[in-house]
């Protein structure tokens, strides 16, 4: 009885510590998880078998389907969300950049904060081990966030929370410590298919299934070819880095979501004011200066120029080099 009480108290203190670090929502799941984790894992394998990952071969890592491979003896997981919605608009007639990348590199922001939480947990339980996971880790991250109750996976494959909608990035802290789990989130998309209807390339060809080969976000961020497919360029509009269309039409993002005041997600000026001419004319060194400390570094300077030229139906970039 005393052990259970101590576990409950530690779990609440851990979640409160996460909230003090600016995370909200927060939740806990028990490893290896319930039946839904098994179903999500099977769905991932079907998605891979269909080739929906395009050339993102890291999605095939076996550890993504077996959380115990990430931390030996893992018993629990803390899932955290960071709201990145800021009530700001880009300047008219400028290029569009996905909101998650408006501020600082969220990978480093989440890692830094989770590291402080991990060290705190270690101070409370000196014998415990822990590991930080962000979306660069081979973890079924949205499924585990759903298991921990911080949101459900929507038909657009984004994690959706009642309060924050889908405007949040997520992270996880795996630990060998026994913690008290929260209730898994219940899916609340209902019959709505706004995201499927709005996707300009029909990349969401059925609920919960995204074909990366048709996704604007994949092509603007991950595609390393010197030119983009015509079926992508004909639908890009002004999206030059990622795409928020399926989130912008989501009814759960129509509610009065609180604008974040977290300094790490406040937009960089250039992100809201980037013109097509700038994106094409900036040389590599200028792009590197602009991208310093940003998650957008994944898009190389030559890719920015390629993407910018592809907006408004431009098809080629003379002399482009990787």
Residue 84 near residue 169 (C-beta atoms within 8 A): yes
Q: What pLDDT is stored for residue 142 in this prediction?
A: 97
Known catalytic membership, residue 283 = no
Beta strands 130-133; 168-175: pairing state: antiparallel
296 C-beta neighbours (distance < 10 Å), count:
22
> Pairing state of beta strands 26-30 and 76-83?
antiparallel
Local confidence pLDDT in tens for the 322 residues of the chain: 888 999 999 999 999 999 999 999 999 999 999 999 998 889 888 988 888 888 787 677 777 778 989 999 999 999 999 999 999 999 999 999 999 999 999 999 999 999 999 999 999 999 999 999 999 888 999 999 999 999 999 999 999 999 999 999 999 999 999 999 999 999 999 999 999 999 999 999 899 999 999 999 999 999 999 999 999 999 999 999 999 999 999 999 987 788 999 999 999 999 999 999 999 999 999 999 999 999 999 999 999 999 999 997 443 334 444 3
CA distances from 158 to 65, 110, 195, 221 (A): 19, 18, 11, 17
The SS3 of residue 273 is helix
- Helices (DSSP H) in the chain: which residue ranges? 2-20, 35-49, 106-124, 141-147, 194-198, 216-221, 230-233, 245-248, 269-273, 276-281, 284-291, 301-310
List CB contacts of 147: < 8 A, sequence separation 6 or more.
29, 33, 34, 36, 37, 77, 79, 184
209 dihedral zone (left: phi>0; alpha: psi -120 to 50; beta): beta
pLDDT at 299: 98
Write out the E strands in 138-290: 152-153, 159-160, 168-175, 204-206, 209-210, 239-241
Give the pLDDT of residue 313: 45
pLDDT number for residue 188: 96
Catalytic residue (choose from 135, 244, 262, 284): 135
């Amino acid at each position: 009885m005393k052990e259970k009480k101590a576990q409950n108290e530690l779990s609440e203190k851990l979640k409160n510590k996460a909230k003090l670090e600016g995370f909200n929502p927060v939740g806990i799941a028990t490893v290896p998880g319930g039946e839904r984790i098994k179903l999500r894992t099977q769905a991932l394998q079907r998605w891979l078998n269909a080739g929906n990952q395009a050339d993102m071969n890291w999605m095939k890592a076996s550890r993504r389907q077996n959380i115990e491979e990430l931390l030996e003896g893992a018993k629990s997981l803390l899932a955290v969300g960071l709201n990145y919605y800021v009530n700001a608009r880009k300047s008219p007639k400028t290029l569009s950049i996905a909101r998650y990348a408006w501020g600082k590199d969220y990978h480093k922001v989440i890692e830094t904060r989770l590291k402080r939480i991990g060290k705190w947990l270690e101070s409370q339980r000196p014998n415990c081990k822990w590991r930080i996971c962000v979306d660069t880790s081979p973890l079924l991250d949205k499924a585990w966030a759903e298991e921990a109750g911080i949101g459900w996976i929507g038909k657009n494959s984004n994690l959706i929370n009642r309060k924050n909608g889908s405007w949040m990035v997520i992270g996880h802290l795996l630990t060998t410590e026994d913690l008290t789990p929260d209730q898994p989130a219940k899916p609340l998309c209902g019959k709505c298919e706004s995201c499927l209807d709005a996707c300009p390339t029909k990349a969401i060809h059925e609920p919960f299934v995204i074909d990366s080969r048709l996704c604007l976000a994949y092509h603007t961020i991950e595609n390393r070819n010197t030119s983009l497919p015509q079926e992508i360029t004909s639908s890009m509009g002004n999206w030059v880095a990622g795409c928020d269309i399926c989130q912008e039409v989501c009814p759960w993002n129509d509610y009065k979501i609180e604008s974040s005041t977290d300094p790490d997600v406040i937009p960089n000026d250039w992100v809201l004011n980037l013109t097509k001419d700038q994106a094409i004319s900036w040389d590599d060194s200028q792009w590197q200066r602009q991208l310093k400390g940003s998650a957008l570094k994944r898009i190389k300077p030559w890719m920015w120029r390629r993407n910018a030229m592809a907006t408004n139906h431009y098809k080629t970039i003379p002399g482009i080099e990787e």
